[in-house]
């Protein structure tokens, strides 16, 4: 009896002691995670910001692609409210116009810089890492000052973002502090003195505001970028973001020059046009000086590393083959054959491969080759598939997206365009076509799970944001998916 009591007491003491330790740990965690509010201030007058600073901020905001997430399609710029689906629930972007009640009008520059550097809002609440502060932490104080000037001189819009839909405990902001403890390292960019200035400029833009790695890297189960495999390829809004490291699947290896051209113009003759979320990125870079675009190109090319002699030679062979075929096609610029007027060209014997799928080959010859083998130059002609990164990538998601939903043209501008074939092609036809493209235009092993991938993309179970070629202000617009 006495013994039992003693034991119970000791259990009780243990429980109390344990609770005290947990409480202490919890209090410690809260103290560590606690961020104070930064007092509100009256909205600074737009005239108080020098025009050059605002202009610099505009260029930087374009590099950051802020508008993509902070604008609802067809809505007011930077007013937030866009639903961002994540594997954990739906987060809504916030209003970053200088409205005093619903935007950041009463934020001081210090509050803005803290949000960029540490992912904390003016009230001291931790921000969800859908806001890529794991990249923005590298932005310099001077650039944050310019970004602040730009945003504070936008038109204030009164707009409250809808509530987020996140399960417990993710709906507790303190939980984000735990995430930060695991995955977030605060720190401004430090240049590498051993590297040339252009490399450092490119690294600063690409790793910081440009946040290339946010899409082009794999993420772990908690949504954090896998730092050991940064730039090894990821996913964005239903599109595959290809590896942009040494494992780039581009048939013709990228160079600093071709990357610069692609980022500058949104297309490249040996690589095709940017589409999906990347169309918005290249669209945004229009306002950036050539030198900055070239710096990003140089840095990315260096990250990819020099291609092997074998890969280089194959790339050269491909380019020669394609330019020979273009010359053979003899299409004068601007006089591309019309699909309804021209007979499909039989595929040129390039690889000796046949693709091995008769139905797929018939579809390719009759529906695809009319543009993709027409010899009409990019960006208005179709890319020869021998040059296609998509055909050589680990999965065909981007081909499926483009084929089913097309590439909508930009508004009021000459742009790349492709008609949607979702209504004409059955799922079985789509699968046959993919098998053929992979077999004929790539030496990679066949893709798996095509039936499921095609069906889910069509039904919207796999959600795809379809954007027009110029998609700057329109953000994701689902013009094709059944949902």
Partner 1 sequence: MAIDLTVNGTPQRVEADPDTPLLYVLRDDLGLNGAKFGCGLGQCGACTVMVDGRAVLSCVTPVLLMQGRAVTTVEGLGTAEAPGPMQRAFIEEQAAQCGYCIPGMMMRAQALLQERPDADDAAIRRALEFNLCRCGTHMRILRAIRRAADTMRHAETAAPNGRAG
Q: Where is the binding site for heme c, in residues?
A: 66, 69-70, 212, 215-216, 368, 371-372
State which of residues 370, 388, 401, 403 lies at the interface with partner 1 (CB under 8 A). Answer: 370
Site string for partner 1, 140-179 (x = CB under 8 A): ----------------------------------------
Give the range of 96-104, 134-142, 289-297, 334-342 binding partner 1 by CB under 8 A: 334-342
State which of residues 338, 354, 444, 459 lies at the interface with partner 1 (CB under 8 A). Answer: 338
Binding residue count for partner 1, defined by CB under 8 A: 31
| 8 A C-beta contact, residue 117 and residue 184 | no
Check binding of 425 to partner 1 (CB under 8 A): yes
Give the range of 206-214, 227-235, 361-369, 447-455 binding partner 1 by CB under 8 A: 361-369
Q: Does residue 369 sit in helix, strand or coil?
A: helix
Check binding of 74 to partner 1 (CB under 8 A): yes
**DSSP assignment letter at 91:** E
CB of 227 to partner 1, least distance (A): 40
Query: Measured from the CB atom, is 56 or 429 closer to partner 1?
Result: 429
Give the range of 240-248, 307-315, 417-425, 438-446 binding partner 1 by CB under 8 A: 417-425
H-helix or E-strand containing 204? Answer: helix 197-207
| 8 A C-beta contact, residue 233 and residue 219 | no
State which of residues 10, 48, 190, 366 lies at the interface with partner 1 (CB under 8 A). Answer: 366
Quote the tokens at residue 26.
């919890």
Check binding of 330 to partner 1 (CB under 8 A): no
| 8 A C-beta contact, residue 287 and residue 428 | no
Give the chain's length: 483
Residue 459 CB neighbour total at 10 angstroms = 13
Check binding of 381 to partner 1 (CB under 8 A): no
H-helix or E-strand containing 316? Answer: helix 309-329
State which of residues 341, 352, 413, 449 lies at the interface with partner 1 (CB under 8 A). Answer: 341
Name 54's Cβ contacts closer than 8 Å, sequence gap at least 6. 146, 149, 150, 153
CB of 324 to partner 1, least distance (A): 24
Give the range of 43-51, 186-194, 245-253, 364-372 binding partner 1 by CB under 8 A: 364-372
Binding residues: 66, 69-70, 212, 215-216, 368, 371-372
- Which residue do the tokens 């993309």 mark? 457
d(CA 342, CA 107): 61
| 8 A C-beta contact, residue 152 and residue 62 | no
Check binding of 424 to partner 1 (CB under 8 A): yes
Residue 191 CB neighbour total at 10 angstroms = 12
d(CA 431, CA 455): 10
Backbone phi, psi, residue 399, to 5°: -65, -45
Query: E strands of 308-352, at which residues?
Result: none
Check binding of 287 to partner 1 (CB under 8 A): no
Check binding of 89 to partner 1 (CB under 8 A): no
CB of 427 to partner 1, least distance (A): 12
Q: Which of 243, 421, 251 is nearest to 350 (CA)?
A: 251
State which of residues 175, 339, 348, 455 lies at the interface with partner 1 (CB under 8 A). Answer: 339
H-helix or E-strand containing 441? Answer: helix 427-441
Query: Contact residues for partner 1 (CB under 8 A)?
Result: 74, 336, 338-341, 343-344, 362-363, 365-367, 370-371, 408-409, 417-426, 429, 477, 479, 482
């Amino acid at each position: 009896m006495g013994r039992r009591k003693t034991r119970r007491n000791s259990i009780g003491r243990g429980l109390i002691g344990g609770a005290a330790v947990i409480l202490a740990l919890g209090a410690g965690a809260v103290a560590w995670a606690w961020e104070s509010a930064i007092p509100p201030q009256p909205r600074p007058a737009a005239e108080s910001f020098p025009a050059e600073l605002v202009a610099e901020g505009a260029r930087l905001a374009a590099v950051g692609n802020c508008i993509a997430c902070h604008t609802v399609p067809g809505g007011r710029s930077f007013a937030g409210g866009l639903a961002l689906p994540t594997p954990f629930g739906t987060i809504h972007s916030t209003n970053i116009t200088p409205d005093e009640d619903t935007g950041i009008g009463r934020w001081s520059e210090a509050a803005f810089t803290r949000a960029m550097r540490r992912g904390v809002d003016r009230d001291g609440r931790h921000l969800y890492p859908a806001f890529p502060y794991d990249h923005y932490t590298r932005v310099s104080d001077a650039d944050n000052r310019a970004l602040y000037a730009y945003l504070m001189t936008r038109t204030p819009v009164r707009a409250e973002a809808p509530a987020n839909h996140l399960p417990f405990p993710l709906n507790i902001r303190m939980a984000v502090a735990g995430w930060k403890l695991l995955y977030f390292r605060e720190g401004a960019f430090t240049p590498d003195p051993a590297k040339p200035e252009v490399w450092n400029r490119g690294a600063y833009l690409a790793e910081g505001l440009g946040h290339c790695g946010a899409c082009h890297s794999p993420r772990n189960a908690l949504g954090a970028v896998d730092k050991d495999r940064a730039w090894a390829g990821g996913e964005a809004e239903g599109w595959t973001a290809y590896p942009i490291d040494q494992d780039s699947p581009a048939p013709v290896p990228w160079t600093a020059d071709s990357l610069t051209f692609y980022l500058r113009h949104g297309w490249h003759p040996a690589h095709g046009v940017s589409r999906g979320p990347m169309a918005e990125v290249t669209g945004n870079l229009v306002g950036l000086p050539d030198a900055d675009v070239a710096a990003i190109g140089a840095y990315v090319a260096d990250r990819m590393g020099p291609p092997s002699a074998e890969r280089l030679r194959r790339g050269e062979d491909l380019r020669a083959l394609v330019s020979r075929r273009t010359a053979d096609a003899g299409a004068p610029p601007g006089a591309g054959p019309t699909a309804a007027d021209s007979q499909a060209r039989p595929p040129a014997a390039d690889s000796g491969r046949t693709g091995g799928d008769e139905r797929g080959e018939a579809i390719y010859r009759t529906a695809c080759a009319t543009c993709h083998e027409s010899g009409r130059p990019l960006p208005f002609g179709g890319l020869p598939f021998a040059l296609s990164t998509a055909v050589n990538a680990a999965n065909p998601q981007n081909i499926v997206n483009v084929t089913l939903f097309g590439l909508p043209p930009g508004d009021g501008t000459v742009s790349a365009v492709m008609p949607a074939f979702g209504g004409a092609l059955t799922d079985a036809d789509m699968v046959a076509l993919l098998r053929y493209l992979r077999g004929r235009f790539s030496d990679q092993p066949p893709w798996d799970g095509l039936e499921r991938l095609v069906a889910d993309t069509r039904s919207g179970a796999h959600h795809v944001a379809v954007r027009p070629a110029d998609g700057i202000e329109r953000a994701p617009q689902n013009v094709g998916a059944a949902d």
